[in-house]
Amino acid sequence: MLRTIIVDDENHIRRSLAKMLDAFCPNVKLIASSNGVKTGIKDIRENKPDLVLLDIKMKDGTGFDLLKELDPVDFKVIFITAYDQYAIKAFRCSAIDYLLKPVDPDELVEAIQKTENVLQKDFNIQMEAFQENINNENKADKKIILKTLDNIYLVKIRDILYCESQSSYTLIHLLNGKTILVSTTLKEYDELLKDDGFYRVHKSYLISTRYIERFDKSNGGYVILENDKRIPVASRKREELLAMFEKLAT
């Protein structure tokens, strides 16, 4: 059984989550329900849960305040939050599970199932990435979690040269020449990294624009990256890419 505590300052949210856990999560045992940061810290210390469903913004502080007080964290966390684009981007880059209010029962079940299968040491790496990203406004220092069958990698986004589609997988090419194959589609990385200087030049390639050296117009067009890697440019992307170069030159 997954011994679980809810920490949220809204009574109706706590009641709703408790009912969902009882109805849809037979592998979960609710051992406490806390109405804020202070009571959450007390209940977690006393009950030593496996999982905490944690609200981000509460009247007496934030979920991050609670985690800081309990550091090192020896339990897993699923965050409960209202829509916040910046926070959600940090969640996704860090592979941390979150639920938007109002919480959907199916999403709650899925998040708990995913969390159950994550080792605590791997979760702590994800939390490290999340806390750095949420506190760091400098995009150059942002990090992303890359999961393979055997490992979990914490990688600086600025160290990614380009991403290459491998069917339903993506091969991540790093500046140091290493590659990491992850079971996530290129489309998902396009959505995740497009605000961090990455551009989808081809259906099979997503590149970091910071490492473009030149645009070769021959044979339909290629982007040449710093390591002399030639990346083909899709015909429909050619004019858009040229316009980007013109903008950078002005």
Domains by residue range for the chain, with CATH: 2-135 (3.40.50.2300), 139-249 (2.40.50.1020)
Mean of pLDDT values over 103-109? 95
Q: What residues contact residue 227 under an 8 Å CB cut-off, 6+ apart?
A: 161, 175, 177
State yes or no: pLDDT of 249 exceeds 60: no
Task: Give me the chain's average pLDDT, please.
Answer: 90
Can you give the pLDDT at residue 216? 86
Per residue in 2-56, pLDDT (tens digit) is: 999 999 999 999 999 999 999 999 999 999 999 999 999 999 999 999 999 999 9
Can you give the pLDDT at residue 88? 83
* Winning range, highest mean pLDDT, from 60-69, 132-141, 212-221: 60-69
Per residue in 51-102, pLDDT (tens digit) is: 999 999 999 999 989 999 998 899 999 999 886 776 788 888 888 899 999 9
State yes or no: pLDDT of 138 exceeds 60: no
Least confident interval from 103-112, 204-213, 220-229: 220-229
State yes or no: pLDDT of 127 exceeds 70: yes
pLDDT grade for 140, boundaries at 50, 70 and 90: low
Can you give the pLDDT at residue 218? 80
pLDDT grade for 137, boundaries at 50, 70 and 90: low
Question: What span, in angstroms and rounded, lies between the C-alpha atoms of 94 and 131?
Answer: 9
Can you give the pLDDT at residue 43? 97
Which one-letter amino acid corresponds to residue 176? N
Per residue in 167-189, pLDDT (tens digit) is: 899 999 999 999 999 999 999 99
Mean of pLDDT values over 199-227? 90
Can you give the pLDDT at residue 240? 81
Can you give the pLDDT at residue 161? 97
The DSSP output letter for 137 is -
**Alpha-carbon torsion, ordered 78, 143, 243, 187, to 10 deg:** -50
Q: What angle do CA 192, 195, 196 make, to 5 degrees?
A: 90
pLDDT grade for 227, boundaries at 50, 70 and 90: confident
Evaluate if pTM is beyond 0.95: no
Which CA distances in Å does 219 have to 119, 242, 250? 48, 15, 27
Can you give the pLDDT at residue 27? 94
